[in-house]
Amino acid sequence: MPNHKITMAKHLQRELEKLKKKILSVGSMVEDRVQRAIRAIELQDAELAGEIIRSDFEIDEAEVEVEEECLKLLALYQPVAVDLRFITATMKINNDLERVGDEAVNIAERVMVLSEKKRVRVPFSYHDMAEKTDFMMRKSLDSFVNLDLDLAFQVIIMDDAVDEMNHRIYDMVKDAIRQHPDSVGYLLNLLLISRHLERIADHATNIAEEVIYLIEGEIVRHGMSDVLK
């Protein structure tokens, strides 16, 4: 290999390390928002919800920065094989992370609305669903950091459980509405929170699928969890 090629290759590796740090810091920001959103639900804390909404621009900015960095590396180093896959995987994971941030904002908005309405006691809590969703988010990022195939598969399998929890909450909200039709506005907000959590779990699943693709070099989307059953 001529000398300048070796130098370029070294530069690229250094840039990829930096990129990885950057996307992981976006991941931490997003994870923090998810955890705060969950706390805002549990405490029905409108102030905390407001903070989440106001700070979303930080995630948006970080997302654009990571994407621009990816495009720069593609153009400058023209990477191939695993380096190329790493960059395109980063672009997709970045996109999912930003959308998770949006879902945290959606949850925060629901909490704001709830805090203004008369509270209705419902026979369920989001605790288990929120915990599992948060866990999936963290593990999907861990699987990316450590290129851990097993962990990525575990995340994908967990998604079914979250879907199931979402269906159960849906049924319980339906019953609650039947009993308290006047509080339908309040109760519909509970339903939407459950759906937003479920979407966060979907994004964690997307991230895990990207990680598997990155490791195995094969696109394994669509019906993945069916294969695993």
* Contact string 136-175 vs a second copy (x = CB under 8 A): ----------------------------------x---x-
Name the packing angle between helices 81-115 and 184-216 (round to 10°). Answer: 170
Residue 164: CB minimum distance to a second copy, A: 16
* Contact string 185-224 vs a second copy (x = CB under 8 A): x--x--x---------------------------x-xxx-
DSSP single-letter state for residue 225: H
184 near a second copy, judged by CB under 8 A: yes
Alpha helices in the chain (DSSP H): 3-43, 46-54, 56-77, 81-115, 127-145, 149-179, 184-216, 224-228
With CB under 8 A, what is the number of residues at the site for a second copy? 32
Query: Which amino acid makes up residue 204?
Result: A
Residue 43: CB minimum distance to a second copy, A: 25
* Contact string 75-94 vs a second copy (x = CB under 8 A): x--x-xx--xx--x--xx--
Give me the DSSP letters along 10-37.
HHHHHHHHHHHHHHHHHHHHHHHHHHHH
DSSP single-letter state for residue 183: G
Give the list of residues 6+ apart from residue 47 with CB closer than 8 angstroms, or none: none
The residues that touch a second copy, with contacts defined as CB under 8 A, are: 57, 60, 63-64, 67-68, 71, 74-75, 78, 80-81, 84-85, 88, 91-92, 95, 170, 174, 177-178, 181-182, 184-185, 188, 191, 219, 221-223
